[in-house]
Amino acid sequence: MSSNTPRLQVDGLTVTFGGLTALDDVSFTVGDAETVALIGPNGAGKTTVFNAVCSLVRPRAGTVRIDGRPAPTAPTGLPARGVSRTLQGLGLFAGMTVLENVLVPLVGPAISTAVPDAAPAVLERLGLSAEAGTPVDALPYPERKRVALARALVTGPRLLLLDEPAGGLGAEDIADLAGIVRGLSADGCSVLLVEHHVDFVMDVADRVVVLDFGRVVACGTPDEVRADPAVEAAYLGLEAAA
């Protein structure tokens, strides 16, 4: 991959469901070791972008490229391309231990992308080593969120998609999460995140893409986005100036 090739490139992405246009000509990139956030009101199309990148929905138009190559046609092809994702609803397996949950992605083709000690190293990084043998449903919610993140990290992704990682967390846990995300970027991992906690976004993101009614209405650094009248209009439901 050329150093100028984005880790993720979305061009002209348009997704429709029946007569509803969920995404309308959406374009953005995520560079090497860059953290990009997707924000916008409920129903703006953020999760649909994630689903299109992960080949869970088929776009009517546009392309998704990972490291300069077309994205896989099915989600099962993502681990081999260095892509991993967390789920908004966690998706953990109740009754299984923390370690067993984290090992799930290493069953099958993804295991070839991981080093043998990946799971213990990830658990240590996220402060979960002591809970490795604990049933995941016995943990408090913030720790279960970290288990879900550990499961996404165990394959050593080069591109990590985080779906509302700060959702349901208190201020201290959000601050810890911000440190984790910054550490991933420092290690060379690119991050695309969807999040409603705007303060968290402005703390960790290198760039912010703002969606409203399926269209990109602003894109730039956190400071640029804060100052953009179109962003305020999107969040307040006002009509932006032309």
> Over the stretch 60-74, which tens digit does the pLDDT of each residue have?
999 999 999 999 888
Residues 185 and 98 placed together within one structural domain of the fold: no
User: How do residues 6-63 score in pLDDT, each as one tens digit?
Assistant: 999 999 999 999 888 999 999 999 999 999 999 988 888 898 999 999 989 989 999 9
Residues 150 and 200 placed together within one structural domain of the fold: no
Residues 63 and 4 placed together within one structural domain of the fold: yes
For residue 117, pLDDT beyond 70: yes
Number of H helices, E strands in the chain: 8, 10
0.85 surpassed by pTM = yes
Residues 194 and 240 placed together within one structural domain of the fold: yes
User: Which pLDDT score, from 0 to 100, does residue 237 have?
Assistant: 55
Among residues 133, 156, 179, the one where a domain terminates is 156
Residue that is written with structure tokens 């992960």 in the block: 54
Domain that holds residue 29: 1-82+158-242
Among residues 139, 156, 173, the one where a domain terminates is 156
Residues 162 and 75 placed together within one structural domain of the fold: yes
Q: Give phi and psi for 114, each to the nearest 5.
A: -110, 150
Residues 73 and 144 placed together within one structural domain of the fold: no
For residue 1, pLDDT beyond 80: no
User: Which pLDDT score, from 0 to 100, does residue 18 have?
Assistant: 85
What is the number of structural domains in the chain?
2
Strands 69-70 and 61-66 come out as antiparallel
In the predicted model, what is the mean pLDDT of residues 100-106?
Answer: 86
